């Protein structure tokens, strides 16, 4: 994406998630208020938008519409990234240096989560996003720690009858991320013992969430400054605009 646009200093939401989830559809809906035909993204897309009515930025709760500071606070940037497995470096490099990033919107297809392949793909990608947020927090040099970055799991395509409800998406993803975490740790141990003949690799910093034998829960990410919400929505409804009010409300809370 263009460097010039990136330096506006506006708060930025980074969109990530598997291919086909609806990131570009949501980006264009937020920018233009209409549903357009999308194609799988091969490069990131950066747009500037205004938080749509009636949503109010949290920073402006006590300001009135028409106040220039209120209008300014509604402006933000969305960076839409490609979800294809080979193109995720766009999202991960933005995560490595998250300048002005005030939130991550991880878009998933709520119907695809009901199938094992779709669930595992989303869980692996989300695991890696959360692990880089955790590392960013753990590696921070300042005593205050870096700015908190919240994550919205936008469970899209709720118009499909096969879509799972947000509560099921949450528990399925937590469980699948727990399995990814175990597999990664085992792979590290195997690789480590081959190298050193021992199994004392520094696994700790590659382990997402709390240590121990317990299961992974999104709430564990609070300790590293990341609050996670799962909210259902649908960008489209047939050829018409669907309902993503819950996502815009979440974005407003973080503006």
List residues binding ligand GTP (CB under 6 A).
Answer: 19-25, 38, 40-41, 82-84, 107, 156-157, 159-160, 234-236, 242
Q: Name which of ligand GTP, Mg ion, none residue 60 binds, using a CB cut-off of 5 to 8 Å depending on partner kind.
A: none
Site of interaction with Mg ion (CB under 5 A): 23-24, 41
Q: Which does 134 bind (CB under 5 to 8 A by kind): Mg ion, ligand GTP, none?
A: none
Question: Please, what sign has the CA dihedral across residues 69, 29, 227, 99?
Answer: negative
Using a 10 angstrom Cβ sphere, with 0-12 exposed, 13-18 middle and 19 or more buried, the burial of residue 90 is: buried
Evaluate whether 111 touches 117 at the Cβ level (below 8 Å). Answer: no
Per partner kind, with CB cut-offs from 5 to 8 A, the member of ligand GTP, Mg ion, none near residue 19 is ligand GTP
Nearer to ligand GTP, 27 or 134 (CB): 27
Place of tokens 């792979």: 187
End-to-end CA distance of the chain: 22
Question: At 134, which helix (H) or strand (E)?
Answer: helix 116-139
Residue 254 interacting partner from ligand GTP, Mg ion, none (CB closer than 5 to 8 Å by kind): none
C-beta of 90 vs 216, nearer to ligand GTP? 90
Q: Least distance from C-beta 91 to ligand GTP, angstroms?
A: 10
Which CB, 24 or 30, lies closer to Mg ion?
24
The Cα 43–Cα 63 span in angstroms is 38
Phi, psi for residue 193 in degrees, rounded to 5: -70, -25
Nearest approach, Cβ of residue 49 and ligand GTP (Å): 15
Judged by beta carbon, residue 40 or residue 89, the one nearer ligand GTP is: 40
User: DSSP label at 11?
Assistant: -
When the beta carbons of 90 and 250 are compared against Mg ion, the nearer one is: 90
């Amino acid at each position: 994406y263009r460097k010039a646009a990136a330096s506006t200093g506006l708060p930025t939401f980074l969109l990530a998630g598997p291919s086909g989830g609806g990131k570009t559809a949501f980006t264009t809906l937020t920018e233009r208020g209409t549903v357009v035909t999308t194609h799988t993204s091969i490069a990131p897309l950066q747009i500037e938008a205004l938080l749509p009515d009636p949503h109010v930025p949290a920073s402006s709760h006590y300001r009135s519409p028409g106040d220039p500071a209120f209008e300014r606070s509604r402006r933000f940037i969305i960076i839409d990234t490609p979800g294809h497995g080979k193109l995720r470096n766009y999202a991960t490099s933005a995560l490595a240096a998250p300048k002005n990033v005030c939130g991550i919107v991880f878009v998933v297809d709520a119907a695809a989560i009901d199938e094992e392949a779709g669930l595992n793909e989303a869980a692996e990608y989300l695991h890696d996003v959360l692990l880089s947020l955790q590392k960013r927090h753990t590696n921070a040099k300042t005593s205050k720690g870096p700015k908190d970055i919240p994550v919205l799991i936008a469970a899209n395509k709720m118009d499909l009858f096969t879509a799972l409800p947000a509560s099921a998406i949450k528990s399925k993803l937590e469980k699948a991320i727990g399995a990814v975490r175990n597999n990664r740790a085992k792979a590290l141990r195997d690789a480590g013992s081959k190298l050193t003949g021992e199994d004392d690799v520094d696994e700790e910093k590659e382990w997402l969430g709390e240590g121990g034998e317990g299961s992974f829960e999104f709430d564990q990410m609070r300790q590293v400054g990341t609050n996670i919400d799962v909210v259902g929505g649908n960008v489209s409804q047939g050829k018409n605009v669907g309902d993503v009010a819950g996502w815009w409300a979440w974005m407003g809370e973080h503006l």
